[in-house]
Amino acid sequence: MCTLFRRRSAFSLIELLAVLVAVGVLVGIVLPRFQAYRRKAHVAAMVRDLRKLAAAEERFWNAVKMYTADTAALDLTLSPAVSLTMRSADSTGWSARASRTGDPVVCSIFYGSAPPLPPAVKANVIECSGEGERKQTADSRKQ
C-alpha cells in the first residue's frame, strides 16, 4: 500500500521563523506599555511617600509646634528604592523632594514659607517632572 502523505515529526525552518517573528511583534507591542506601567508605579510610590511625609510632619507639628527635617523623628517608612531629601524645616514650613534610584522623575512638595524645591511651584501640591514631562498631583493636604 502506497501512502501519499508521509508523517512529519518536526517543524520546518519556515514555521519556526514565523513563530519567532510573531513573538517578536508581540514583545514589541507589550514592552513599551509595561515600561510605562512601571514608570507610573514608581511615580505613585514617590507621591505616596511625600503624602506620608506631609501627614507625619503635621503630627510632629501638632506635638511640638515645629517641623523637622529628621525623618527618624517622624518614624517614616519609605517605599523601596525611594530616597527623600528634606531641604528645610522650621516652625514656619518645610520642603522635600523624593526621587528613585535610576529614574529621572523627581517629585517635590513644600509647605508654608519654606523655599520651594523644583518642580513644586505651589504650596501643598506635590508635583513631579522628568524627561520633559510635568505632572501635578492632587493636593496632599487641605488648603
Over 50: is that where the pLDDT of 78 sits?
yes
Over 50: is that where the pLDDT of 54 sits?
yes
Over 80: is that where the pLDDT of 135 sits?
no
Residue 142 is predicted with a pLDDT of 44
Give the span between the Cα atoms of 135 and 140, in whole angstroms.
14
Q: Is the pTM of this model over 0.85?
A: no
Task: For residue range 80-125, list pLDDT tens digits in order.
Answer: 999 999 988 999 999 999 999 888 999 999 999 999 989 999 999 9
Are the C-beta atoms of 109 and 87 separated by less than 8 Å? no
